[in-house]
Amino acid sequence: MSFTAVIYEKEGSLALVALNRPKMLNAYNVQMRDDLYQALRAVRDDPEIRVMILRGEGPAFSTGGDVSEFGSAPSPIGAREVRWRRDVWGTLLSLPQPTIAAVHGYTVGGGMEMALLCDICIAAEDTIFFLPETGLGMIPGVGGTQTAPRAIGLGRALDMVLTGKRVDAREALQIGLANRVVPRETLLTAAKALAYTLAQHDPRVVALAKRAIRQGRDLSLAEGLQLERRLFAIL
């Protein structure tokens, strides 16, 4: 598939989606939003795809939203309607396939939030995470206020959101922001190795396991166990 701001590649049962505005440190603009939405839908609807890797071209994974576009839409209301109609982040979060974020360099704002929306995060040793939105007069708008506390705990999430604290790869691994840390030169190799391991599992089983964990975390233990039993019975 051919896009302007995203590269979509398919290797057998693996989909590789790369943010492709390297000169802009993969700042997320309208074009990237539209391209990413289409790429994620292609992953979702392809029965051959069993795992997806989300990565970034160039020196950074992503520096978040492209601030040069903020406020430039002719109609703010129209722009907001388009944004909600094309639910990129809901689509990413709800993919039935396992999703791996392979991040490096600046993984900032919306970039960090994209990684949090994936199931597993593999970070290169040079990765720097932070959420600068509050200092810019905003709050995280790619799900960060919800995904960060679930991943790293309430206190750490408040620290990052309110102060813009920077977290390197080693600390990210310690607090649960990253699942694995690897040398920069082996990042894609490590992500692919994990992806092909996951691809060996029955995709129906994997999808139900994801559903049990993601839906269950917002339920009481008793309700979560009921959900698990229902999904187990399906298999």
Q: Which two tokens stand for residue 178?
A: 């990253």
> Rounded to an integer, what is the distance from CA 62 to the centroid of its chain?
11
Rounded to the nearest 10 degrees, what angle do helices 203-216 and 221-234 cross at? 170
Q: Which two tokens stand for residue 235?
A: 């298999």
Return the bridge partners of 182, or none. 124
Q: Of these residues, 133, 171, 223, 228, which one is catalytic?
A: 133
DSSP at 86? S
State yes or no: is 185 an active-site residue.
Answer: no
Q: Of these residues, 11, 69, 113, 125, which one is catalytic?
A: 113
HSE on the CB side for 34, CA within 13 Å?
8
Containing 130, the helix (H) or strand (E) segment is: strand 128-130
Q: Which two tokens stand for residue 106?
A: 């600046």
* Distance in angstroms (rounded) separating the CA atoms of residues 165 and 61: 18
Q: Which of 9, 193, 188, 195 is nearest to 102 (CA)?
A: 188
State yes or no: is 11 an active-site residue.
Answer: no
Active site residues: 113, 133
